[in-house]
Chain A
Amino acid sequence: MTRLVLSACDLQIGFQPSRVSRKVVASGLNLDLHGGEFVCLAGPNGVGKSTLLRTLTRLQPALGGEVRLSGRPLREYSSKELAGLVSVVLTGQVEVNAMRVRELVGLGRFPHTGIFDSRSQEDERAVENALALTDVSQLADRFVQELSDGERQRVMIARALAQEPLLLVLDEPTAFLDLPGRISIMHLLRDLARGRGQAVLTSTHDLDLAMRSADRIWLMNRGGSIAQGSPEDLVLSGQFGHTFSQANLRYNMSTGQFEEEHAGARPVVLRAEGLAGAWTAHALRRAGFEVLVEGAEYLPLIEVEGQGGANCWRLTWQGVSRELSSIYALLSALLE
């Protein structure tokens, strides 16, 4: 068993704007996080993911219960001690002007330097190391404002790594990235946890991505309760469907995808194999058809012929057979 890094016992989170009023977001939370583990905190928007992360990193106080870091209550740490153990990447973009990447990453050494911030060789090494781990060494002398969103997010992670923490906490680090960017950030985080024995905790509303990379998922429900487990366990226990269930949206346990439920979906029969068959089915579902493998004679029948780039779609319906050259043409013909 790996080392327990963070644990929460009967934790209550929320806001306390004044002495009398308090807004509880979630309570009775029991959580644990181990070294070398990559955990995704998932859940619908507005459920309190940020509040939980901010409470676990002491950016805001807990309303009740206790958080322990390395076995010691979080509140007992001095702010400098805590900064040496926990680093964060907050949600949203950081706007800085005239600051180079190496300088920004170097800010992460603050908990390790004195009041005049003089740097030792060890500090320099930690910065270069963080740049290398996040694969941004070649950007080190660029200005931060010139980077793309994905590059900038890597630099922010490098800054957090330069702090050399036991626990790295990120709030929606993939929010404004494109799909390849999101995947690369998630894989980076997973590798950081595996390779360095750090605990990495990130919130995300991208369930698909969390499924693919997380060791464990903390699934936060609308009521504020959290289900923990490996992504697959949570699927099998039906937790995903429960958490994200909405009208017209159904969690398909076998594909791991959310599917729209169409009330009056028209059935069609698709006889096709391979890649072309899979994408044809995808297109038909997207257009609101129910895709069947076998069906009555009177239903539209679609067959895919040909291989590689040269496919042909044969639509047989009401005794008429037509050959169509693309999926787009097929859908147009069906929707006529």
Chain B
Amino acid sequence: MRPRSDLTPAASKPLHKGWIIALFVLILLAAFVLSLSLGSVSIPMRQVFGILSGKPAFKESWKTIVLDFRLTKALTAVLTGAALSVAGLQMQTLFRNPLADPFILGINSGASLGVALAVLAIGTTGSILLAGISTAGDLGLALAASIGAGLVLGLILLVGRRVKSPITLLILGLMFGYAASALTSLLIYFSLPERIQAYTVWSYGSFSGVTWSQLRVMAPVILAGLVLTVFLPKPLNALLLGEEYARSMGVNTRLTRVLILLSASILAGTVTAFCGPIGFIGVAVPHLCRNLLRSADHKLLLPAVGILGAALALLADAIAQLPGSQYVLPINVVTSLFGAPFVVWVIIQQRKGRTSFSV
């Protein structure tokens, strides 16, 4: 065999990878602290920690800002980042497609349709209901989006158990997405401009609209979706070789597929319902983790993408705050601006290697 010294040999990999994960955790903690201390009102770091540990604040308004606004926002970002990254990783492996993302089966199109119906259609006939929606702190929007995402999820699960190949499922999912998007466009087309404005704001995505009462719903559902994945590393690893190999190794591919779809859809659907459609985190973080860890093992990747996804969502939110200014950018603008060049980079990297596209 010809020697290949340029390739990293077996230099104590487990320890090495453990350090990378530890680094991810450190980044996450740092990003969390950063997120709590950044905002349009400047609050000293010591005061932030004081408020968090229950000490009386220098100003009462600071306490409200830190506890009811920044802490909820940071927790939302953590849950969102972890949920989208884990869902994205599962979709990429299930479909063996490096460009798959959590929304590839049309979950967010369903959610968008739900919101569009609530804001645009119902809004036009009953303005009282619309007023109710906005005063309830967007809980109405979350409900509408959940129903939309849930309907698509139901359809996917119904079909997902029957179709033979994941590719068929992928195409059907895309079709659901197109159909839902078309209906949404139709609603927008026949709507009043001010209603469209409300819909557009939702579609930009935001971590800051989530209140404590919403977090009480959102957090347990996302945690449930994440807990489901505890049982999935083994079948996901088998699926890397394709469904046929997985079956030949004794994996119950039908059950696995349903569990993956259930978990990924719950995660992506919940995020979209509460924060709007958040792009790019779900497609970019799994790639980043695979490249940094140089591993395809889901036992390692699932926790790693969760942690790194949470950290990156926090950092994206920190950038969105435009530190030192009064402006706040929509979160989707930040993730897409940073995510799009990243996906381009991944494609170029993969084309450079001798392999064709693969997860």
B250 interface neighbour in A84, A116, A145, A146, Cβ under 8 Å? A84
Q: For the complex, what is the distance from the CA of A95 to the CA of B358, rounded to whole Å? A: 6
As a 0/1 sequence over residues 88 to 115 of chain A, the CB contacts with chain B under 8 angstroms (1 = contact) are 1010001111110001100110110101
Q: How many A residues are at the interface, by size bracket?
A: 35 or more
Assuming the contacts A59-B248, A87-B248, A141-B9, asked whether A107 and B238 have C-beta atoms less than 8 A apart, the reply is: yes
Taking the closest CB of chain B, its distance from the CB of A60, in whole angstroms, is 10
Q: Are A97 and B7 in contact (CB under 8 A)?
A: no
As a 0/1 sequence over residues 241 to 252 of chain B, the CB contacts with chain A under 8 angstroms (1 = contact) are 110110111111
**Is residue B234 within 8 Å, beta carbon to beta carbon, of the partner chain?**
yes
As a 0/1 sequence over residues 272 to 305 of chain B, the CB contacts with chain A under 8 angstroms (1 = contact) are 0000000000000000001101111101000000
Stretch of B112-120, B195-203, B322-330, B348-356 on the interface side: B348-356
Q: For the complex, what is the distance from the CA of A219 to the CA of B231, rounded to whole Å? A: 44
Q: Which residues of A contact B350 (CB under 8 A)?
A: 97
Taking the closest CB of chain B, its distance from the CB of A67, in whole angstroms, is 15
As a 0/1 sequence over residues 71 to 109 of chain B, the CB contacts with chain A under 8 angstroms (1 = contact) are 000000000000000000000000010100000000000
Q: Are B355 and A110 in contact (CB under 8 A)?
A: no
Q: Are B358 and A146 in contact (CB under 8 A)?
A: no
Q: For the complex, what is the distance from the CA of A143 to the CA of B237, rounded to whole Å? A: 15
Q: Are B241 and A107 in contact (CB under 8 A)?
A: yes
Taking the closest CB of chain B, its distance from the CB of A170, in whole angstroms, is 12
Q: For the complex, what is the distance from the CA of A83 to the CA of B233, rounded to whole Å? A: 19
Taking the closest CB of chain A, its distance from the CB of B152, in whole angstroms, is 27
Assuming the contacts A110-B234, A117-B234, A145-B353, asked whether A99 and B249 have C-beta atoms less than 8 A apart, the reply is: no
- Tell me the nearest residue of chain B to A94, going by C-beta: B241
Q: Which residues of A contact B98 (CB under 8 A)?
A: 97
Q: Which residues of A contact B241 (CB under 8 A)?
A: 94, 96, 104, 107
Q: For the complex, what is the distance from the CA of A90 to the CA of B354, rounded to whole Å? A: 22
**Is residue A139 within 8 Å, beta carbon to beta carbon, of the partner chain?**
yes
**Is residue B345 within 8 Å, beta carbon to beta carbon, of the partner chain?**
no
**Is residue B240 within 8 Å, beta carbon to beta carbon, of the partner chain?**
yes
Q: For the complex, what is the distance from the CA of A329 to the CA of B293, rounded to whole Å? A: 60
**Is residue A82 within 8 Å, beta carbon to beta carbon, of the partner chain?**
yes
Q: Which residues of B contact A90 (CB under 8 A)?
A: 242, 244-245, 248
In chain B between 316 and 359, which residues have their CB closer than 8 angstroms to a CB of chain A?
A: 350, 353-359
**Is residue B59 within 8 Å, beta carbon to beta carbon, of the partner chain?**
no
**Is residue A163 within 8 Å, beta carbon to beta carbon, of the partner chain?**
yes
- Tell me the nearest residue of chain A to B242, going by C-beta: A94
Q: How many A-B residue pairs have CB under 8 A?
A: 98
B294 interface neighbour in A81, A98, A138, Cβ under 8 Å? A98
**Is residue B216 within 8 Å, beta carbon to beta carbon, of the partner chain?**
no
**Is residue B16 within 8 Å, beta carbon to beta carbon, of the partner chain?**
no
Q: For the complex, what is the distance from the CA of A84 to the CA of B250, rounded to whole Å? A: 8
**Is residue A79 within 8 Å, beta carbon to beta carbon, of the partner chain?**
yes
B296 interface neighbour in A96, A140, A163, Cβ under 8 Å? A96
**Is residue A80 within 8 Å, beta carbon to beta carbon, of the partner chain?**
yes
Q: For the complex, what is the distance from the CA of A94 to the CA of B293, rounded to whole Å? A: 21
Q: For the complex, what is the distance from the CA of A79 to the CA of B234, rounded to whole Å? A: 15
- Tell me the nearest residue of chain B to A114, going by C-beta: B234
Q: Tell me what chain B mostly uses at the interface: helix, strand, loop, or mixed.
A: loop
Taking the closest CB of chain A, its distance from the CB of B136, in whole angstroms, is 42
Taking the closest CB of chain B, its distance from the CB of A81, in whole angstroms, is 8
B234 interface neighbour in A80, A82, A116, Cβ under 8 Å? A116
Q: Which residues of A contact B7 (CB under 8 A)?
A: 142-143, 146
Q: For the complex, what is the distance from the CA of A59 to the CA of B242, rounded to whole Å? A: 13
**Is residue A57 within 8 Å, beta carbon to beta carbon, of the partner chain?**
yes
Q: Are A79 and B233 in contact (CB under 8 A)?
A: no
Q: Are A98 and B245 in contact (CB under 8 A)?
A: no
- Tell me the nearest residue of chain B to A83, going by C-beta: B250
**Is residue B4 within 8 Å, beta carbon to beta carbon, of the partner chain?**
yes
**Is residue B128 within 8 Å, beta carbon to beta carbon, of the partner chain?**
no
Q: Which residues of B contact A113 (CB under 8 A)?
A: 234
- Tell me the nearest residue of chain A to B356, going by C-beta: A95
**Is residue B1 within 8 Å, beta carbon to beta carbon, of the partner chain?**
yes
Q: Tell me what chain A mostly uses at the interface: helix, strand, loop, or mixed.
A: mixed
**Is residue A39 within 8 Å, beta carbon to beta carbon, of the partner chain?**
no
**Is residue A86 within 8 Å, beta carbon to beta carbon, of the partner chain?**
yes
Q: For the complex, what is the distance from the CA of A149 to the CA of B294, rounded to whole Å? A: 22
Q: Are A79 and B358 in contact (CB under 8 A)?
A: no
Q: For the complex, what is the distance from the CA of A111 to the CA of B250, rounded to whole Å? A: 6
Assuming the contacts A84-B250, A110-B250, A145-B358, asked whether A98 and B238 have C-beta atoms less than 8 A apart, the reply is: no
Q: For the complex, what is the distance from the CA of A90 to the CA of B241, rounded to whole Å? A: 10
Q: Which residues of B contact A59 (CB under 8 A)?
A: 244, 247-248
Q: For the complex, what is the distance from the CA of A86 to the CA of B245, rounded to whole Å? A: 12
A79 interface neighbour in B96, B252, B291, B353, Cβ under 8 Å? B252
Q: For the complex, what is the distance from the CA of A29 to the CA of B237, rounded to whole Å? A: 36
A107 interface neighbour in B96, B244, B249, B290, Cβ under 8 Å? B249
Q: Are B240 and A117 in contact (CB under 8 A)?
A: no
Q: Are B233 and A86 in contact (CB under 8 A)?
A: no
Q: Are B299 and A117 in contact (CB under 8 A)?
A: yes
Q: Are B237 and A107 in contact (CB under 8 A)?
A: yes
Q: Are A98 and B237 in contact (CB under 8 A)?
A: no
Task: Find the residue from B237, B238, B290, B356 having the highest chain A CB count within 10 A.
Answer: B237
Q: Are A97 and B10 in contact (CB under 8 A)?
A: no
B297 interface neighbour in A81, A84, A103, A145, Cβ under 8 Å? A103
Q: Apart from A104-B241, A117-B234, what are 14 other A-B pairs with CB-CB below 8 Å? A: A82-B250, A83-B248, A83-B250, A90-B242, A94-B242, A94-B245, A98-B293, A99-B240, A107-B241, A110-B249, A142-B4, A145-B354, A146-B7, A146-B354
The 9 closest A-B pairs by CB, nearest first: A83-B250, A95-B358, A80-B250, A145-B355, A117-B234, A99-B296, A110-B249, A111-B250, A141-B10
Question: Could you list which residues of chain B lie within 8 angstroms of chain A, going by C-beta atoms?
Answer: 1, 4, 7, 9-10, 96, 98, 231, 233-234, 237-238, 240-242, 244-245, 247-252, 290-291, 293-297, 299, 350, 353-359
Return 22 A-B CB contacts under 8 Å, by A number.
A79-B251, A80-B250, A83-B248, A84-B250, A87-B249, A95-B96, A96-B296, A97-B98, A97-B296, A99-B297, A103-B297, A107-B237, A107-B245, A108-B249, A110-B234, A110-B251, A115-B231, A117-B299, A139-B1, A141-B9, A142-B7, A146-B7
